[in-house]
């Protein structure tokens, strides 16, 4: 690939790494190019912070390594991080007033691992406040170039949401402001925005990537992953992101890092793809159904076999998730008390009043709603009725997947019931929660899941195909996605004007 004839921002991670390694382009030149693009696309609201000096210092270090001939695999490849992953060189806000201006003294493990692999950090990306949401309309700090908080816009149609909570990540990759981004997925926040913005995203098995330095929303579900244009690019990044972190995250699993690129070319001849009837019922929009069906036909032509399966508790995933995740959130967010981190109300009468005012002013409405729901379901008298019941059903949902995997190697379906909706178009919280129906089951089971571009629906908006695999079978997911991307070009299509 000759970058002189192809713009740098048109290159994926693999191509950029190659161009950097062969010195067709320097890391500094690459970083400057993407920083410049970020500045010209500020109206999208994707970035919450940039630090040009820090980025260029990292790029110069990458160039020095590249010159030495002893550079790590991704030396000089730009990446941007969701603003719930703490970073030493950039502020971290979780898009909350509560953390506005907060500067972490250390890097999250996944940030540090990607830096060790040579990646250069461009900046931090917007998200729903504390990763609670699916539309990226609830960022409460202003984006770069803005003076007031704003929703992130979808590059395919700026009147629409990019999805969430990793909406800034999906927007930035789709708009070619970065070749790749990290995201986090608690109930779908990598897969759904990837689907809405026409990019590829993967959430690994719970525990495969360290949560150290990931600002906690619901710890038993939170998982970091990557978003990029192709499965090939995701595989490269994920190989560095994953791996045990026993000293810093006790829930990180003792499963060694793996070179996922080696799984890309596995044959899918005879692969059994499970099709859960529950993912194709009422509520699935016709345009999404048509695109997903077409992708499934494509798999059949490639030699895979479609197998009907059942995930009978799919409907219950929504109430279960919206009991358990607020319960964990209410506990995790108790640390934001005006004493230890970030914001403190400027005027108060006594300690209790300081807590109350700080939290009333520091948190936005959706976060407060979840803290209240979570506190309620954990309170005496309701704990058994809600929290414990939800825990039991969570276990059954995980068991349903194991029963399904007796009959198939992968599960496929839509990521979301519709394409991205208009900003301001879904104000009822429950309507937002219901739209998570297809991503929540895999999250509750801790399974790896992926979103793969599968064409366009109404209004030319992207549609994502969801692939779910059994524990630790990220390679199988990436291989199946890669195979589809060898015969389709949905992942290469771009929004008008980008
Ligand atoms: N949309 C879901 C929620 O609002 C998922 C969020 C996430 O995965 N972080 O909780």
Of 82, 124, 203, 426, catalytic: 82
pLDDT tens digits for range 114-158: 999 999 999 999 999 999 999 999 999 999 999 999 999 999 999
Q: How far is the CA of 187 from the centre of ligand 1 (A)?
A: 5
Cα 74 to ligand 1 centre (Å):
30
| Nearest atom (ligand 1) to Cα of 217 | 9
CB-based pocket (< 6 A), ligand 1: 131-134, 165, 185-189, 217, 325, 436
1, pLDDT greater than 70: no
Residue 204 predicted with pLDDT over 70: yes
pLDDT class of 340 with cuts at 50, 70, 90: confident
Residue-wise pLDDT for 376-389, tens only, equals 999 999 999 999 99
pLDDT at 171 over 60: yes
User: Which SS3 state, helix, strand or coil, does residue 187 take?
Assistant: coil
Give yes or no for a contact between 459 and 466, defined as CB atoms under 8 angstroms apart. Answer: no
Q: Which residue of the set 96, 135, 169, 189 is catalytic?
A: 189
What local confidence, expressed as pLDDT, does residue 3 receive? 45
pLDDT of residue 23: 97
Token digits of residue 243:
């791996």
φ, ψ dihedrals at 424, nearest 5°: 85, 0
Which pLDDT tens digit goes with each residue over 205-240? 999 999 999 999 999 999 999 999 999 999 999 999
Best mutation site among 163, 189, 430 for ligand 1 pocket (most ligand atoms within 8 Å of CB): 189
- The overall average pLDDT reported for the chain is 97
Residue 4, pLDDT score: 47
Å from CA of 369 to ligand 1 middle: 14
Catalytic pick from 165, 166, 239, 252? 165
**Phi and psi, residue 244, nearest 5°:** -65, 150
Structural domains of the chain sorted by starting position, each given as residue range(s) with its CATH number in brackets? 8-263 (3.90.1300.10)
- What does each C-alpha distance from 273 to 204, 215, 371, 411, 475 come to in angstroms? 19, 35, 39, 5, 15
Of 285, 282, 280, the residue nearest 296 (C-alpha): 280
Q: Is the pLDDT of residue 273 over 70?
A: yes
Q: Residue 466 is inside which H or E element, if any?
A: strand 462-469
Tell me: the pLDDT tens digits for 31-64?
999 999 999 999 999 999 999 999 999 999 999 9
What is the mean predicted confidence (pLDDT) over 18-34? 98
Question: What is this structure's pTM?
Answer: 0.98
Contact at 8 Å (CB) between 324 and 397? no
Tell me what percent of the residues of the chain surpass a pLDDT of 70: 99
82 is catalytic: yes
Residue with tokens 């695109």: 291
End-to-end CA gap in the chain:
20
Would you state the pLDDT for residue 5? 55
pLDDT of residue 6: 75
């Amino acid at each position: 690939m000759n970058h002189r004839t192809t713009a740098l921002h048109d290159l994926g991670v693999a191509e950029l790494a190659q161009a950097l390694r062969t010195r067709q382009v320097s890391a500094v030149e690459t970083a400057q190019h993407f920083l410049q693009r970020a500045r010209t696309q500020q109206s999208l609201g994707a970035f919450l912070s940039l630090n040009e000096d820090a980025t260029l210092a990292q790029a110069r270090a990458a160039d020095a390594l590249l010159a030495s001939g002893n550079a790590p695999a991704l030396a000089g490849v730009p990446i941007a991080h969701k603003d719930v992953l703490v970073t030493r060189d950039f502020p971290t806000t979780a898009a909350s007033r509560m953390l506005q201006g907060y500067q972490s003294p250390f890097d999250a493990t996944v940030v540090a691992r990607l830096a060790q692999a040579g990646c250069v950090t461009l900046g931090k990306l917007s998200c729903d406040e504390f990763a609670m949401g699916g539309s990226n309309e609830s960022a409460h700090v202003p984006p770069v170039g803005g003076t007031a908080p704003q929703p992130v816009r979808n590059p395919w149609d700026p009147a629409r949401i990019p999805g969430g909570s990793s909406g800034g990540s999906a927007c930035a990759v789709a708009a070619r402001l970065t070749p790749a981004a990290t995201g986090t997925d608690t109930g779908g926040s990598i897969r759904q925005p990837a689907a809405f913005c026409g990019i590829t995203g993967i959430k690994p098995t719970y525990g495969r990537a360290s949560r150290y330095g990931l600002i906690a929303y619901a710890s038993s579900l939170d998982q970091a992953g990557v978003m990029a244009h192709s499965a090939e690019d995701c595989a490269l990044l994920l190989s560095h992101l994953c791996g045990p972190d026993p000293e810093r995250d006790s829930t990180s699993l003792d499963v060694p890092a793996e070179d996922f690129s080696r799984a890309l070319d596995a044959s899918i001849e005879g692969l059994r793809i499970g099709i859960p009837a529950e993912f194709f019922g009422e509520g699935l929009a016709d345009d999404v159904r048509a695109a997903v069906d077409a992708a499934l036909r494509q798999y059949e032509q490639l030699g895979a076999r479609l197998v009907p399966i059942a995930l009978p508790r799919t409907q219950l995933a929504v109430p279960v998730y919206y009991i358990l995740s607020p319960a964990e959130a209410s506990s995790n967010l108790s640390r934001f008390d005006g004493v230890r981190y970030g914001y403190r109300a400027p005027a108060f009468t006594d300690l209790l009043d300081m807590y109350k005012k700080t939290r009333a002013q520091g948190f936005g409405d959706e976060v407060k709603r979840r803290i209240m729901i979570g506190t309620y379901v954990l309170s005496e008298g309701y704990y058994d009725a809600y929290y414990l019941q939800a825990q039991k059903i969570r276990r059954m949902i995980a068991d349903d997947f194991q029963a399904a995997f007796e009959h198939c190697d992968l599960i496929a379906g839509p990521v979301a019931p519709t394409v991205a909706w208009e900003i301001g178009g879904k104000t009822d919280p429950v309507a937002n929660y219901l739209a998570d129906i297809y991503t929540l089951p895999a999250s509750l089971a801790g399974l790896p899941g992926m979103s793969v571009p599968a064409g366009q629906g109404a209004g030319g908006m992207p549609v994502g195909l969801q692939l779910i695999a059994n524990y630790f079978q990220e390679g199988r997911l990436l291989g199946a996605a890669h195979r589809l991307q060898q015969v389709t070009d949905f992942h290469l299509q771009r929004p008008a004007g980008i």
